[in-house]
Amino acid sequence: MDLKPSRLAVTLMAVVLWVWVISYAWFSWLPRAQYTVAFVGLSVFVYLFHEYLELGDDDNRLLQSAVLGASGLITAVATVYIYVNYSTLVTTRVGYALQHEIWLAAVFTGAMIYLTYRAFGLAFVGVLLFAIFYGYFGEYFPGVLVHSGFSGTRILNIMVLEANGFFGNLSQIVAAWVALFLLYAGLLKSYGAFDLVIRVAFRAATVVRSGVAQSAVVASLVIGSINGSQTANAAMTGSFTIPLMKNSGLKSETAGGVESVASTGGQIMPPVMGAAAFVMASLLGIQYIDVVIAGLIPAAIFFLSVAAGVHYTWIAQSGKAELDVNDHIDEVKSKQQLIIEGVTFAVPLVILIFLLGILQWTVMTSALYTVISMVLLGIGVPVTQSILKQDELPGTVLKTKLLETIDGFREGAVILAPIVIIIAAVNGIVDVLVSTGVPGILSLILIDLSGGSMLLAVIIAMAICILLGLGMPTVAAYSLVALLIAPALINDFAIPELAAHYFVLYAAILSGITPPIAIAVVVAAGIAEANFWRTCLESVKLAAPLYVLPFAFVYNPEIIIGGFTTMTFVSGGLALLGAIAIIHGLNFYERPFGAGRAANVGIRSIYFVLGVAIMAAPSLTIRIGALVVAIGLYALQLRNPLEAAPSASAQEN
């Protein structure tokens, strides 16, 4: 572990943060909102120290250091003041603030706006500033958007002083539930679980022709589900998988597209689902295990359809490439060692599922015991092996693993800190907008624009969700759309609650691969040194079923609600076949029937339309009929020799 002073400061602050989180999970001696105030403050300090560590040596270093220092001072004063005076602020003086409290809230809000900009850029800051602007100048807005307007004091009370806003319900969910899972993710990375995932993916991928690209998909899906950010995942796994795919023959934009889609898909993979599963269970008031069960079939549909698309793409571009795991991994490990490591990392996950699904303990307690078991196994198994094999001194192994544990604390805190900042900002936006009645206004707008048509309403809702997603971490993007968009779908169009929430979750994460935002594509294209727009095109072609799947939740909600029934598997199976029809139409490496350019586009469009009908049509008869036509078209395609060679066809497409 690097012990440079600046890195050591990040590590020490991370340890303090996790001591605070673990002690609250164990004792729960404070009101959750008061605990969250300190949690947010400590997380901000982790972010500030880490940002200072990452500063370059350019001319702006001094200015940036000064702004970071001022933000830290403001955060410290605000955190201590609100924490110490918590009872007075939320009981005795609700709705009223002293002058010095107003000034403190104002400068703290300014600091949070700056930190949000630094962590997530100008686009999301624009949303935050619009929420404040709308809250203050509401009386000047036209039509249904008009409201009486809030005073500056009222807005600052909502955002800071009443322990709502930045410290509100969403931040409390992250503090009590999500944080421990990100500590778990940090420990997994530090102990080598991500390395194991990539090794296993490579070994499994050697049995299929598209093995290199499939290994990238598997690794990114697994890791992305845990770390909760498609952007971070694209950077983390993409730095390894994208060069590997390029070296094996895939085009730069294709390699970037595969990684972008896989990183996005990781956010919907049970059991963690980028931490969104825990927030969804809380918002809906249902068991976490019910959310996970609902997500299993959609996740399988996504994975299998993307695997088919990657296979087609691989054949077109690198059909003769072979994968040898030993060419890409420095240290060769035996099957026995891989099994031991697999069991070590799997047991805590099994404990989590058992505690949540079978014993139905609280999320916070289950997460706490998952973290404890991970630490005990992460340290205990290697030490035990060293004693049994006598190949290393147990004391040396113990020291190494303790340092890895501390580094895991640092990794988890560094992952967590920007998520806490963006969630605090989202919480502020939501509280201001909800206070002005925006969810009801959005319902009226959806009804007005759609003319009462549910299809138009959900199309508009998807577009809004993609725009609001803004490339944020999954839990932040979902929280925003779940509180602003889902109520309109539920109340005005009678869409089942769970189906509506899955709809907005899937739609929100699409912002990561949908231009012009497409933040996951930005990261992956940068690593791949590829053109952004071409990489976006590759991503959309591979992820096309993900754009249709949310509509399947609306028109065929049995896919995700009601448990595993006959209709669940029938609808799920049809959705999978429809997804594969879409993938086949968009990604098949030959021109169907050796067709010319215009006919090629037409035939591929037919596959796409049939796939959409099979996936999402509300009538079972229509879905089965579309499937029969698609199968017939594919059978005709097989009977006609394909003229173009894969590589030539790939170039023409």
For the stretch 339-388, pLDDT in tens is: 898 899 989 988 988 887 788 788 889 889 999 999 999 999 999 988 88
Which pLDDT score, from 0 to 100, does residue 636 have? Answer: 83
Distance between CA 122 and CA 239 in Å, rounded?
25
127: three-class secondary structure by DSSP:
helix
The amino acid present at 348, given as its one-letter code, is P
Assign 645 a pLDDT band (cuts: 50, 70, 90).
Answer: very low
Assign 642 a pLDDT band (cuts: 50, 70, 90).
Answer: very low
The pTM of the whole model exceeds 0.75: yes
Q: Which two tokens stand for residue 572?
A: 């799920």
What contacts 286, CB < 8 A, 6 or more positions away?
498
Q: Is residue 543 within 8 Å of residue 313, measured between CB atoms?
A: no
Torsion-angle region of 490 (φ positive above 0: left; ψ -120 to 50: alpha; else: beta): alpha
Of 167, 221, 204, whose CA–CA distance to 31 is shortest?
167
What contacts 87, CB < 8 A, 6 or more positions away?
none
Distance between CA 154 and CA 525 in Å, rounded?
44
Q: Is residue 111 within 8 Å of residue 74, measured between CB atoms?
A: yes
How many other C-beta atoms are found inside a 10 Å radius of the C-beta of residue 203? 16
How many other C-beta atoms are found inside a 10 Å radius of the C-beta of residue 409? 24
pLDDT in tens, 268-303: 888 777 678 888 888 898 888 888 899 999 999 998
Least confident residue range of 131-135, 167-171, 475-479: 475-479
Task: State mean pLDDT over 396-413.
Answer: 93
More confident of the two residues 152 and 162: 152
Residues counted in the chain: 653
What contacts 553, CB < 8 A, 6 or more positions away?
298, 499, 502, 503, 506, 559, 560
Percent of the chain beyond pLDDT 90? 40
What contacts 138, CB < 8 A, 6 or more positions away?
145, 146, 147, 148, 149, 150, 436
What is the separation, in whole angstroms, between the first and last Cα of the chain? 48
